[in-house]
Structure 1
Amino acid sequence: MDLKDKAALVTGGGTGIGRAASLALAKKGAVVIANYSRSAADAEETVRLIHSEGGRAIAIQADVSQEQEVRAMVDAAVQHFGTVDLLVNNASITRHIPMEDLESVTGDIWDALFDVNVKGMFYCARAVAPYMKKQQQGAIINLGSIAGQTGLGSSLPYAVSKAAVHGLTKSLARALAPDIRVNCIVPGAVATRWWEGREEQMNLLAPHLPLQRISTPEDIAAMINATLEQEAMTGQIITVDCGQTL
């Protein structure tokens, strides 16, 4: 798929992988809708950076865990650009809880992580699907995590939520075929603000990876673009982790 002039909705588009994906899509000629929940200034900076390079972008606020906010966001995007051709389901949250500390994992934490990380991705996919089906083409990328493959992550509920994202990807790929392709990019450690306060831990990890480096948001964005462009692939779980899971 040629990304030029396609309308791309990127959730969590203000920071980290979301910003890198927004910028990379804009460089391919896509028009970008940078979604944010609370990071308004960051999302507006993403838009400013795209505009400075001659691209087109807007920022739209919505909490993806709230179905009505998602539908309002997609309606606003369609009013601006006529449709939504591409969706990058990037918005995710976590809670840092030692894996062995089961007692700290409350029902509220389970609900919060699944509401954003799993149900939010479903709400966004469902809201854009009619527009993609109308055009008989569209592509969705869900952001998973190696935590969903290894069971080890920032917390037990986070790892389980990302395993659910991988399952959601396969189910949506079946449900939305043949018009809409759905794939999942699975990063390992990525140098984003998620490591804030734990940078030393991140730097200690790098030499032990086969490629001896930590992935950048731009690494993940490049794979997002490549997967959006690949028209012969759906339902795939694609790991980009500098060999972390080898």
Structure 2
Amino acid sequence: MHLKDTVAVVTGGGTGIGRAIALALAEAGAQAVVVNHSRSTEEAAATVAELTDLGCTAVGIRADVGDDRQVRDMAEQVRSRFGRIDILVNNAAITHAVPHEDLDGLTDEIFGRILDVNVLGPFRLVRAFAQDLKAARGAVVNIASISGYRAGGSSIAYGVSKAALLQLTRNLAVALAPEVRVNTIAPGTVATRWQTDLHGTTGFAERAEAERESVPLRQTSQPEHIAQAVLAVLTMDMVTGEALIVDGGKHVRY
């Protein structure tokens, strides 16, 4: 796949990893990037401005991926504005910090909402754009997590949701073949607001410093590293249904 002149949708595209992916697509020559957001309105507007400065047609669309009607409305807006979609990056996700041993603290409501956004959300997006992606012979990249492979992360529900997303990727790769490729990027720790919201600025800095001792590359991933991986799998024309872990090699020592 050539990225020049493509039309891309990046969910959760206003901040962190999503923002880095959107900017990387623009820098790679994308014609248009749709920045989806649900809460980060000001940040999404700032990202749209950055994309515009790069010469890319950019538009922000507010839609909760946990709501199928909002997803379908967004798909119609993209279809009406651009007439096609080549790339879908399912990056939007939520979590709720609950210690793994606190089973009662992980209520049905919390568990259900995490699954609704992190698993059903990407499915809703793919379903809404499936025919457009097939017509364009496009590609989907889902953003999972190392938490989908191991018993860690902010909560049991979060890890389960990311493990489910890995399997959803495999199933969708078959369902959309041969026209559309579907792959996953599974980041480890990434220096984003997500982490500082969970651990605090000082707490995250201390955790990241300690973790680097067990990371072969001795670095903490930045959002731009995840964007590099997304662009890489987008251009791999014979790769589908796969997951690429981006964590500086830490997973080989878990």
What TM-score, normalized by structure 2, do the two folds share?
Answer: 0.94
Q: Equivalent residue of 2:104, what SS?
A: helix
Aligned counterpart, 1:51: 52
Shift of 1:20: 0.1
Cα deviation for residue 204 of structure 1 reads: 2.1
Q: Offset of 1:211 from its aligned partner?
A: 1.0
d(CA) in 2 for partners of 1:21, 1:48: 15
Structure 1, unmatched stretches of 5+, are: none
Instruction: List aligned pairs for 1:222-241, cutoff 5 A.
Output: 222-241=228-247
- 3-state SS of paired residue (1:231): coil
The share of aligned pairs that are identical, in percent, is: 47
Which runs of 5 or more residues in structure 2 are unaligned?
Answer: none
CA RMSD of aligned residues (A): 0.9
The Cα shift of 1:154 comes to 0.8
1:209 is matched with which residue: 203, 215, 220?
Answer: 215
User: Per-residue deviation at 1:150?
Assistant: 0.8
Q: Which residue of 2 aligns with 1:127?
A: 128
State yes or no: 1:193 paired with 2:193: yes
Does residue 155 of structure 1 match 2:155? yes
Would you say the 8 A contact 1:12–1:18 is kept in 2? yes
Could you tell me how far apart the structure 1 residues matched to 2:217 and 2:104 are? 37
Matched with 2:17 is 17
Q: Which residue of 1 aligns with 2:251?
A: 245
The aligned runs of 1:160-179 (5 Å cut-off) are 160-179=160-179
Quote how far apart the aligned CAs of 1:98 are.
1.2
Following superposition, the deviation at residue 149 of structure 1 comes to 0.4
Whole-Å Cα distance in 2 between the matches of residues 148 and 109 of structure 1? 18
Deviates more, 1:179-188 or 1:45-54: 45-54
Give the structure 2 partner of residue 70 of structure 1: 71
Name the TM-score, length of structure 1 as normaliser. Answer: 0.97
Instruction: Give secondary structure in 2 for the equivalent of 1:183.
Output: strand
Moved over 4 A (4+): none
Alpha-carbon distance between aligned partners in 2 of 1:103 and 1:210, rounded to the nearest angstrom: 37
Residue 201 of structure 1 deviates from its aligned partner by 1.7
Q: Deviations over 1:29-75 (max 9, x none)?
A: 11100000011111111111111122221100100010110010011
**Counterpart Cα distance in 2 of 1:206 and 1:42:** 29
SS of 1:48 mapped into structure 2: helix
Residues 98-118 of structure 1: CA deviation (Å, up to 9, x unaligned): 112112110001111001000
Q: Deviations over 1:100-152 (max 9, x none)?
A: 211211000111100100000000011111112223x0100001111000121
